[in-house]
Structure 1
Amino acid sequence: MTNSLRPNGDRRAPLPPAQSPADGVPSPRSPHSTQKKQNGKQRDAFFDNAKYLAIVLVAMGHAWEPLKGDSRILEAAYQVVYAFHMPAFILISGYFSRSFDMRPDRLKRLITGVAVPYIIFETAYPLFKRVIDNDPHQEISLLDPWYLTWFLVALFIWRLTTPIWNLVRWPLPLALGLAMLATVTPEIGDDLDLQRVLQFLPFFVLGLVMKPEHFHMVRRRSVRIASVPLFAVALAFSWWAVPRMNTAWFYHRDAAQELGAPWWTGPVMVLAMFGCSLVLTACFFAWVPRRQMWFTALGAGTLYGYLLHGFLVKAGDYQGWFEASWLHHPAGEILVTALAAAVVTVLCTKPVQRMFRFAMEPKMDWAFKKDAAELARERQGAERREREPEKVNA
């Protein structure tokens, strides 16, 4: 699963430049880094592996939620996973947003790849609840993200503000300051899930300021070895903290006062959770394979797995699938965990992507004006095609 058995030992292979593959700029090939060309774009196996493994952890965490009940061990594992799975995913999103600007083609991709899927799934989830849960009163609101769609709202806002974070002198301290202020401001309310947008913001900004060498640092053999006892300590501490700590802190969706805590604990928890999440995220990255794996190609479809698996989790919740007593024993919990990993894996595959591309990655060329540069390229191409027959006749 790792590169620790390579003869090169700790020799570090170069990671791709910060530009997102979506920008159409292929990263240079390297004999030490496993890259694959997909849809004419260069991808890096490390990041695709990390995204896939993170989305599997997301699905597992959602499957554990209705099962954990009074299980202290499962609750402890749940807290540890929630401490780093979304921070890791958000950090990668920030890293690949470094080159985002207000260029028309990038704004178009932001609208079609984030805003439109948000509108579709923010409508689909409440409709699904009306049908499956027989709840005709379930409202549809584009201002109040429902279940998983908060991430699309957050990503849209974060990416739009990227030029600002690339401009200011101290982006990460500023982002942490905003997150700390959010935790003492319950008046923010639920509109666009701004509490989560602001409290998770530091992880996105950290991704913006990271460089390839930072990922090299966590790939060292010493870090991989140290990550094992660190995860063990995290699990032990979480087991101790289960009866003493409100799990809602890991969701980053409430102010301190809404959790029944003194206001000053909000800023303290932001810094404490940020530090713990960074340590566990580094441990997670340390064990992410860099080479091509059987699941590497699935990393390109993680948003499909993220948004689609929610329907199955909610269907199980509405229909009482998780209420069977045998599921609340170790064997049942292991089975549900394996099923969650298998289902989200299937939802990341190419056939599923082709089936739901209309909702996740619509082209929508009809909705956008062509920019001047694109029109100029088309004119040049037409003129070139017109001249070619003249050369052939000559």
Structure 2
Amino acid sequence: MFYPIQRYGEPKYILNLAKKLLLPYLIFQGLYTVLYFLLGREEWYKGILHPQWAMRFLVSLFCWHILLVLFKRIPAAASILLAVFIGIAAGYVDLSAYGLSLSRTLVFFPFFLAGYFMTKENVQLIKTKALSIAGIIFMTALFAFIYLFINVDVTLDTDWLSGAVAYQRLEAEMSGGLMRLIIYILAALLIISMIALIPSGDFGWLTKIGEKTLYVYLLHGFIIQPFREFEILWYNHWYETFWFVLLSALGVIVLSSRPAVALTRPLVELKWKK
């Protein structure tokens, strides 16, 4: 999708990046604005600098590649630590008024940066039986803790994970930095656990689906948002999670299918044919 790593920062690379990310952003920003208008949302228009729902990812991804021009010049450990420090510090300032998903871009940049620096050798060191077992234990314990002690229905709790809200609005102006650091550590451990558990190799049609994740990401809002607006789906009991998993899997299969990709390729990749 992008030019080789060594060409980061060159004018041609930046122009290609803008074509791959910013043009689809403008297109889908307009489409989601129309969708919200048709759904009767009061705040259906946000302007070009304030991404509609999931569109923030395209803006952040573009910004991360630009930031990488500077951060890749710093040794990996120091670079990631600096990004974590910036992500923690960002919470002490309300960046919501600046648009372009600035807060989320800074908060989640360490994960993008870690992915850039990670090598195949690093992955092989993680993919061991011991870490797989440890990962299962850790994820089970974390799930139990969240289920027993975290009220996921309270916005104040879930906003900690969005990266978009300043500590002051989360009623943690002093302790917010420590909370975000803990979240960083837990998220890193979850990622390591998942890498340890994911099998290696080509899995046929599942691998093909993985190649079309951008389509799923950009298009799934046209299903989710009407469902939310008209309260077609609801969640009352824990076992109803299985229905959501099945529906999500079905949505992924449909939106990554050959007909869906062929129909929407002009919007996503700005191409009429593969």
Normalized against structure 1, the TM-score is what?
A: 0.63
Within a 5 Å distance, the mapping from 1:15-34 to structure 2 comes to 22-23=2-3
Aligned amino acid, residue 103 of structure 1: E
In 1, Cα distance between equivalents of 2:46 and 2:95 = 22
Structure with higher Rg: it is 1
Name the residue aligned to 2:170.
259
After superposition, give the CA deviation of every residue in 1:173-221 in whole Å (9 maximum; x if it has no partner): 2111211110101155351111101111111121222222111122112
Q: Is the 8 Å Cα contact of residues 95 and 103 (structure 2) preserved in structure 1?
A: no
Question: CA 1:258–1:358 in 2, change beyond 3 Å: closer, same or farther?
Answer: same
Partner of 1:248: 159
Do the aligned partners of 1:183 and 1:256 also contact (CA within 8 Å) in 2? yes
Partners of 1:236 and 1:110 in 2: CA distance: 41
Give the share of equivalent positions with the same residue, in percent. 25
- The equivalent position to 2:139 in structure 1, one of 208, 216, 231, is 231
Corresponding residue for 2:212?
Answer: 301
C-alpha separation in 2, matches of 1:205 and 1:357: 28
Aligned residue in 2 for 1:361: 269
Which aligned pairs between 1:170-209 and structure 2 lie closer than 5 A? 170-187=78-95, 189=97, 191-209=99-117
Aligned to 2:33: 126
Match for residue 127 of structure 2 among 206, 219, 222:
219
| Corresponding residue of 1:147 | 53
Residue 219 to residue 290, structure 1, CA distance change in 2 (3 Å): same
- Deviation of 1:124 (Å): 0.9
Change (3 A) 1:187 1:336: closer
Gaps of 5+ in 2: none
Partner SS for 2:233:
helix
Tell me the equivalent position of 2:221: 310
Q: So what's the TM-score if we normalise by structure 2?
A: 0.89
How many residues matched?
A: 266
> Secondary structure of the residue that 2:50 maps to in structure 1?
coil
In the alignment, residue 310 of structure 1 is paired with which amino acid?
G
Question: Does the CA contact (< 8 Å) of 1:148 and 1:310 recur in 2?
Answer: yes
SS at match of 2:55: helix
CA distance in structure 1 between the partners assigned to 2:257 and 2:71 by the alignment: 34
Partner of residue 276 from structure 1, selected from 186, 190, 194: 186
Asked if the contact 1:126–1:138 (Cα under 8 Å) also holds between the matched residues in 2, the reply is yes
Tell which has more relative contact order, 1 or 2 (C-alpha 8 A, sep 6+). 1
Q: Which residue of 1 aligns with 2:44?
A: 138
1:314 maps to amino acid: Q
How many Å separate the matches in 2 of 1:147 and 1:187? 17
Distance 2:54 2:26 in 1: 12
Indicate conservation of the 8 Å contact 1:182/1:188, yes or no. Answer: no
Is residue 245 of structure 2 the alignment partner of residue 334 of structure 1? no
**Distance in structure 2 (CA, Å) of the matches to 1:336 and 1:240:** 21
State the AA in 2 paired with 1:138. Answer: W
Runs of 4+ with deviation above 6 angstroms? none
Shift of 1:102: 2.7
Output the CA distance in 2 between the equivalents of 1:174 and 1:333: 38
Q: Which residue of 2 aligns with 1:56?
A: none
Other structure's SS at 1:295 match: helix
**Shift in CA distance, 119/130, structure 1 to aligned 2, threshold 3 Å:** same
**Shift in Å, 1:304:** 0.5
Distance of aligned partners of 1:190 and 1:105 in 2 relative to their CA distance in 1, 3 Å threshold? closer
Determine if contact 1:304/1:348 at 8 Å carries over to the other structure.
yes
Amino acid at match of 1:144: H
Q: Which residue of 2 aligns with 1:285?
A: 195
Does the Cα contact within 8 Å between 1:149 and 1:307 map onto a contact in 2? yes
